[in-house]
Structure 1
Amino acid sequence: MIEPITVPKAELHCHIEGAAPPTLVRSLAEQHGVDVSGVLDGNGKYIWSDFTTFLKAYDVASSVFKTPADYSLLSEAYFRMLAAEGAIYGEIFVSPDHAQAAGLSYRSYVEGLASGIERAKLDTAIEGRMIAIGVRHFGSASVERVVKEVIGNPHPMVTGFGLAGDERSGHPANFAKAFRMASEAGLGTTAHAGEFGGPDSVIAALEFLRVKRLGHGVRAIEDKELVKRLADEDIVLEVCPGSNISLGVYTHMRFHPVNMLRREGVKVTLNSDDPPFFGTTLGKEYASVSETFGWKAEDQIEITRTAIEAAFCDKATKTRLLVRLDSALQNPGTS
């Protein structure tokens, strides 16, 4: 079996502010005079105990990023780390609302992130794209404002639009207009559903937002008809097992439904969500799921193939990535 580190990987679900390495957060906090002592312990780990304190720690850590150069450092650090684990492609969720809170324009925020991704690509050949997200608990007007900003300031690396935030707040019907605008502008669309919300939240996202990808989506397992629908309609789930376990959606990896969903024909991918907050990385996700469910290298490569095929990137990039993946399959031990 190929060791997980050498299997080419791809990630579709990672919040870039939530991927901030604690060392970078501490360094920028000192530079900008931000107090992060309440959310970082002496060992350089984030301090939180439940979903509410996680969100607080996330917001405090995010507040140290003030300039395009800060965001450039963040995206470069993350994509270099991904590449070091064998990833050939990554998509990050970017939050125009966080940019606004930092006093940055959407354009300068995206340009900062893009320059970091480009620097990482020069050295490692990793490809990266961005998915701008609206926050559902900010309401439909806020989410529509984000879509308009994205459409009005096109950037070649911003290729998708998504919905994040508290799943229990705001029915997907409220965001149908925003998603229609995003689709008409040629953006790929995805929405968080079926993480804290049950199968109903997944059904509502499919019905009202017309997405072909779902962030998480794992609680669909509670509805047999829905599982069949996901398989029949080729809906891709951006599954984040480590995140689900850290946040208490499931108690242990062996109880996580990722393997059952896959056996039922649902297309699944593996992702890290907010990696340092949950003590994980993309490499750890591939390794822990494979170890728990006995996935071989071929299974892991199939997961990566699913991610690349569902990626929000152009056809030429997708083809290049699939060629890299196929060459790894033919030459085990290389990526």
Structure 2
Amino acid sequence: MKVKLLPSINRGEPVSVSEETVALSVDFCKLYPDIIVGIDFSGNPNKGNFEEFMPALTLARKHGLMLAIHCAEIPNRSEIKQMLMFGMSRCGHGTYLTSADYAYMKQHNIAVECCLTSNIKSGTVESLQYHHIKRLIEAEVPRVLCTDDSGVFDTTLSNEFYLATEAFGLTQTQCIDLTMEAIDHAFASCEEKQNLKIQLDAFISQMTVKDNRVHKTKRYIEKKTCE
């Protein structure tokens, strides 16, 4: 098991705290480049002005840290546009993204972190049946299933897959694709991603698959390049 760390900026705290967080992250990244790999920007979406945090996030990106930004948790169009134009590696939640935003995400290969249990318990999504992951899948927008916070929301990644399967009738193939996509968008090295795909392929090979997905997955691993 390999663990990566994304120090978090809480948008509800003073900007000075974010500057300190980034400064420490940059220093520790130099010491532990395979562990400190990015910065998370999150917190109460009704607090803080994103523009004020942009200098700190820009500094983080300048030093090679990936950015996971909670975006479109609430219907704040001006902030959503500002965040997308600023850029990110992964988008947290993306609940209120529009079809035009979807096209932008696809064009720039930005994955949306979908957190079903979190969104239901937080009240940003009415029910699983109305969760935006369905629209993301239909629009072929990069997306990954996440817990948001396993402890806080009392869920596991396996449970999130179960919920998505029950709510939207995802096939085994679609679940495998989601897992493969999560690897592609992980903040990990090319070698680490390839090793994860090999491990996933070995796991899939032990499963009873009716649509020859095992062979498709192997070909996918052989042809997929690490970007």
Q: Same fold (TM over 0.5)?
A: yes
Instruction: Establish whether residue 239 from structure 1 lines up as the match of residue 117 from structure 2.
Output: no
Correspondence 1:1-335 to 2 at 5 A: 126-154=1-29, 155=32, 156-208=34-86, 210-220=87-97, 223-332=98-207
**Which of 1 and 2 has higher RCO (CA within 8 Å, sep 6+)?**
1
Q: Does the 8 Å contact 1:164/1:191 carry over to 2?
A: yes
Partners of 1:296 and 1:197 in 2: CA distance: 31
Amino acid at match of 1:181: L
TM-score (norm 1): 0.58
Amino acid at match of 2:202: S
Q: Does the 8 Å contact 1:167/1:197 carry over to 2?
A: no
Measured against aligned partners, the alpha-carbon deviations of 1:114-161 in whole angstroms (never above 9, x if no partner) come to: xxxxxxxxxxxx222111111112132211111001112232311111
Structure 1 equivalent of residue 225 of structure 2: none
Secondary structure of the corresponding residue to residue 128 of structure 1: coil
Q: Does the 8 Å contact 1:168/1:197 carry over to 2?
A: no
Return 5+ residue gaps in structure 2 as ranges: 210-227
Partners of 1:199 and 1:318 in 2: CA distance: 34
Measured against aligned partners, the alpha-carbon deviations of 1:47-72 in whole angstroms (never above 9, x if no partner) come to: xxxxxxxxxxxxxxxxxxxxxxxxxx
Measured against aligned partners, the alpha-carbon deviations of 1:151-181 in whole angstroms (never above 9, x if no partner) come to: 1223231111121112122232212211221
Q: Does the 8 Å contact 1:289/1:295 carry over to 2?
A: yes
- Displacement of 1:226 after TM fit? 1.3
Change (3 A) 1:246 1:190: same
Q: Does the 8 Å contact 1:199/1:226 carry over to 2?
A: no
Partners of 1:179 and 1:332 in 2: CA distance: 43
Q: Does the 8 Å contact 2:69/2:91 carry over to 1?
A: yes
